[in-house]
Amino acid sequence: MKRYVTAIAIIAGLAAVSCTKNDRSQGDLKASLEKSVADINNAISVISATSGFEMLAASSGTMKSETDFMDSINLNMISGVYDFKPDPFHYRSFFIPYRLFRKTGESEHMIVNMPEKLVFRPRYLRNLNPPDSLLKNNFTIDASDYHYYYTWFNKFDYLLSASFLIDSVDVGSLDVVSSGNRETGRSYNSTYTFTEGYNINTSFMSGDSSVSSFALSDNENDLLKETVIRVRKEHHMRERLYILTLGNVEIRRGTGLDSIQVYLNGVLQQTAGAKIIDSTGDGGSICHHRDILLTFDDGTTENLSSLLQPARDVLKTLVDSMHSMRFASDIVDYIAIGIYYHSRE
């Protein structure tokens, strides 16, 4: 119930429109949208050329998830400096059978040096390949905070704060906070900060209601943000409020609104409009199955999907990776769990 009340409060706050606003447009909607889209496309063009994006986009293929892990780890248990030095003769029959890393120094952090190949092609981290032991350890994970607390009945609490370097050059940082249990549901917030001045954030909270969002931001402002609030109705989660912000343009659809509303600088537009198109029914995102047809004051129309191509495909990859916490689970957790288990032998 507490989560339901919280979500309703969020709905009220997001849906409220100041009565002090007048009906006049503050600037031209079409020109403002074009600028906002240009800023988004430029940001994605920069991000897609970074090593940070390559890390997040790396496919884990069909690797088995470590669902058997039901223990708890904190940073004190795995702190130190570790180098990738696999021992093919040290084999144990559990899901991390080989000792892949050797402790080479002391640190309050978990610092791991490894070949970049194992990061950009994660399947090689799971399949010991003797020639890989000769590769240069030029990729560094520096985890300044980490814990994975797990108890029975699927209760868990997870925290990761880590930065990454290639050949001693900073390529970004990742921060993840996640928790969950059967009674209150699951929540998480994850952010990757690129050294080029942009970051991507995803968040989710579930329970009797759910709130999910993602945002693409520069150092100062959100360039793009999508928020979806759903409430439970007849054993299904139904969309209650949808808000998409592109710079100073905002689009809202909600059960308490008369129609889809378009705002420019906080001012409701009277002649412009929008139509939300979901290819698979309710519950879409502009990254998946949702498009928006915008109608401007002059009567012309544009599909958002066309305006945001090819940035939309890159954005989909980023959001999916951050939602699944793919890099954290496939790389950092796999290494941390392996260090933890092998250090106890």
Lowest mean pLDDT among 72-76, 163-167, 340-344: 340-344
- Is residue 10 scored above 70 in pLDDT? no
13 part of a folded domain: no
The arithmetic mean of pLDDT across residues 101-106, rounded, is 96
The arithmetic mean of pLDDT across residues 85-100, rounded, is 75
Query: Is the peptide bond between 310 and the residue preceding it cis, with omega within 30 degrees of 0?
Result: yes
91: pLDDT confidence band, cut at 50, 70 and 90? low
345: pLDDT confidence band, cut at 50, 70 and 90? low
| 15-70 tens-digit pLDDT | 443 333 333 344 599 999 999 999 999 999 999 999 999 999 997 554 444 445 66
pLDDT at 256: 72
- Is residue 14 scored above 50 in pLDDT? no
State the pairing for strand pair 80-91/110-114: parallel
Lowest mean pLDDT among 85-99, 149-163, 220-234, 259-273: 85-99
What are the beta bridge partners of residue 196? none
pLDDT at 265: 95
CA 50 to chain centre: 17
229 part of a folded domain: yes
15 part of a folded domain: no
pTM of the model: 0.87
Of the candidates 262, 241, 243, 182, the residue with the CA atom closest to the CA atom of residue 8: 241
42 part of a folded domain: yes
201 part of a folded domain: yes
Q: 10 Å Cβ neighbour count for 132?
A: 17
Q: Is 283 in contact with 230 (CB distance < 8 Å)?
A: yes
Of the candidates 218, 196, 244, the residue with the CA atom closest to the CA atom of residue 53: 196
14 part of a folded domain: no
* Residue 337 CB partners (closer than 8 Å, separation 6+): 66, 69, 73, 96
d(CA 125, CA 106): 24
Lowest mean pLDDT among 87-91, 107-111, 122-126, 172-176: 87-91
DSSP state letters, 184-196: TEEEEEEEEE-TT
DSSP state letters, 109-162: SEEEEE-THHHHSTHHHHS--GGGGGS---EEEEEEEEEEEEETTTEEEEEEEE
Place of tokens 């995803």: 202
220: pLDDT confidence band, cut at 50, 70 and 90? confident
- Is residue 12 scored above 60 in pLDDT? no
pLDDT at 182: 76
d(CA 42, CA 255): 34
16 part of a folded domain: no
Of the candidates 217, 107, 116, 120, the residue with the CA atom closest to the CA atom of residue 169: 116
Lowest mean pLDDT among 80-94, 100-114, 172-186, 295-309: 80-94
130 part of a folded domain: yes
Mean pLDDT estimate for the chain: 86
CA 309 to chain centre: 20
Of the candidates 154, 178, 141, 156, the residue with the CA atom closest to the CA atom of residue 72: 156
pLDDT at 341: 85
Q: Is 8 in contact with 255 (CB distance < 8 Å)?
A: no
| 130-148 tens-digit pLDDT | 889 899 999 999 999 999 9
d(CA 320, CA 313): 11
Number of domain units in the chain: 1
- Is residue 274 scored above 90 in pLDDT? yes
* Residue 106 CB partners (closer than 8 Å, separation 6+): 79, 80, 81
Domain that holds residue 204: 2-8+21-343
Q: Is 329 in contact with 95 (CB distance < 8 Å)?
A: no
pLDDT at 127: 84
d(CA 162, CA 196): 17
